[in-house]
Amino acid sequence: MFEGFERGRFDHNGVEIAFVRAGAGTPLLLLHGFPQTKALWNKVATDLVRDYSVVVADLRGYGDSSKPGNGPDCANYSFRAMAEDQVALMRSLGHERFHVIGHDRGGRTAHRMTLDHPETIESMTVMDIVPTRTIFFEGGADAAYAYYHWYFLSQPSPLPETLIAPDPDFYFESCLSGWGPDGASAFPADALAEYRRCWRDPEAIRAMCADYRAAWLVDCALDAADADRPIACPTLALYGEAGLMARQFDVPGEWQRICTDVTGKAIAGGHFFIDTAPGETIATLREFLPG
């Protein structure tokens, strides 16, 4: 995977962030979501690298990045902490300003990045998400049923970790299969193998639960404090036209509530349309990005 890319590890205050990079020109940062890794972006990055300087990273707690211990509120797994990792990584590579593209948890990291580090973000692309506070406080019963994992994974340790550990493939593949019309067989074999390799690590299971605990215990309060701060950078909101998110929310409309310049578009497939419809994803990104 990522043929021709340079592989590296960046130490940010003792947390190592695994990344790959290649290309020249306008810098792009690509961030994955749960329960995946940077392998999500293999096909997309391999195309975009022809015209852009592309950096693809594992979030802390995921993939080959560090999985630090977590305190009672899991604040070091908040989207603020994840955003700081990635901004520091990009600066270490010489990119003071860049375009950020994030799917799922990576999109939430991008959202926090635009609030905490607005001077660094040229544009934000969020994929198949609405803001975190919207999920928790405005989604209602249907959203809670569809996105039960938000509440399951955030339960106190070690409940979810203990239930997942005996068969992580079963649990995480149920997530891949359940959030849209595509089963696990629709995912590229090399990417699926990489996801399995990483989520079988007990420390990765613990870290992913910490991520969801932090969303409830930390990120909601941070987002509430910034509720009246509009996001001014150009924003692209993509979503799977057959996915659960599109059935629960007006995805572009939710981002228009907090962003001043939003373009919205549906992509064929469900939540994991990057894996299952990479061509359409690439074309849409190229329409939005400069150059």
Mean pLDDT over 264-281 rounds to: 95
Is the confidence at residue 180, as pLDDT, over 70?
no
Contact call for residues 66 and 90 (beta carbons, < 8 A)? no
Q: Look at the domain 6-288 and name its fold.
A: Rossmann fold (3.40.50)
Angle value at C-alpha 168, between 166 and 172, nearest 5 degrees: 150
- Spatial strand order of the sheet with 121-127 comes to 6-12, 15-22, 53-57, 27-31, 98-103, 121-127, 235-240, 262-267
C-alpha–C-alpha distance, residues 291 and 288, integer Å: 9
271 is catalytic: yes
Question: What is the C-alpha separation between 52 and 45, in angstroms, rounded?
Answer: 9
- Residue 191's CB is within 10 A of a number of other CB atoms, namely 21
- Please tell me the distance from the alpha carbon of residue 258 to that of residue 95, in angstroms, as a whole number: 26
Give the span between the Cα atoms of 220 and 224, in whole angstroms: 6
From 104, 182, 223, 275, the catalytic residue: 104
Of the pLDDT bands very low, low, confident and very high (cuts 50, 70, 90), residue 185 is: confident
Terminal-to-terminal C-alpha distance of the chain: 26
Check whether 182 has a pLDDT greater than 80: no
Q: Give residue limits of the domains in the chain.
A: 6-288
- Please pick, among 12, 111, 271, 275, the residue that the annotation labels catalytic: 271
pLDDT confidence of residue 166: 98
